[in-house]
Amino acid sequence: MNEASSSLIPLVIYFISVIGLVALVMCLSWVVGGRIKRRPATGEPFESGIVSVGTAQVPITVEFYMIAMFFVIFDLETVFIFAWAVAFEELGWPGYAAMVVFVVILVLALIYEWKSGALDWGIKTRTGLERK
């Protein structure tokens, strides 16, 4: 283990220097950085723009998140299909079959989303969730 622990020394030095660097940067910015005195008008835009009202954290309709999530999911599927397309020749028919299965599952998921009303905008049109 002696040789092993000696091979770890560079790693330890690296860790220490990372922590040291971060500490140094933070201290320097505190020492050198300018000071701002907080007055009532400090946060206001100076003779430009409009005075802000309220916070930016307003409730946003859940549909936006749904669309964002669907985008991430289907975007990722594109990545997989792209990886297959690049190696199309090498993979041949077995690769094609695998990709057909993949796309069929994807279509089924899309049908599910559509039927359960996840693509509808506004609660009134969301019909799929009623229990029969």
Partner 1 sequence: MTFLDFQALSPLLALTATILVVLMIIAYNRNHKVVCTTTVIGLFITLATIPCVIGIDPVQVTQLLVIDRFALLLITLIALVTIAVSLLAYDYFDGNSGRPEEFYLLLMLSALGGMVLVSSTHFASFLLGLELLSISLYALISYPIKGLIPLEAAVKYLILSGVASATLLMGAALLYAGLGTLSFEQLGSGFYPEQATVQAYIVIGSALLLTGLAFKLSLVPFHMWTPDVYEGAPAPVTAFVATVSKGAIFALMVRFFVLTGAFEYQSILVGLSVFAIGSMLAGNLLALMQNNVKRMLAYSSIAHIGYLLVAFISGGITGGMALALEASIFFLVAYIVTTLGAFGIVTILSNSDESRDCDALENYTGLFWRRPALAGAFSIILFSLAGIPLTAGFIGKFYIIAAGVKGTLWLLIATLVVGSGIGIYYYLRVIYTMTLKSTSTEPIRIPVASGWVMLLVTATILTLGVYPTPFIDMLGDLAKSLT
- Both tokens of residue 120? 């509808």
Q: Would you say 24 or 73 has its CB closer to partner 1?
A: 73
CB atoms within 10 A of CB 75: 9
- Please give the helix or strand (H or E) that residue 131 lies within, else none: none
**Displacement of CA 98 from its chain's centroid (Å):** 28
- Beta carbon of residue 16, minimum distance to partner 1 (angstroms, whole number): 18
- Both tokens of residue 114? 């559509």
- Beta carbon of residue 95, minimum distance to partner 1 (angstroms, whole number): 11
What is the C-alpha radius of gyration for the chain, rounded to an integer number of angstroms? 28
- Please give the helix or strand (H or E) that residue 62 lies within, else none: helix 62-86
Q: Would you say 5 or 42 has its CB closer to partner 1?
A: 5
Q: How far apart are CA 109 and CA 115, in angstroms?
A: 10
- Beta carbon of residue 29, minimum distance to partner 1 (angstroms, whole number): 29
Q: Would you say 6 or 48 has its CB closer to partner 1?
A: 6
Question: Rule CB under 8 A: which residues touch partner 1?
Answer: 1-5, 7-8, 94, 105, 108-109, 111-112, 114-116, 128-132
- Beta carbon of residue 56, minimum distance to partner 1 (angstroms, whole number): 23
- Beta carbon of residue 50, minimum distance to partner 1 (angstroms, whole number): 37
Which amino acid, residue 4? A
Q: Would you say 4 or 51 has its CB closer to partner 1?
A: 4
Q: Would you say 1 or 50 has its CB closer to partner 1?
A: 1
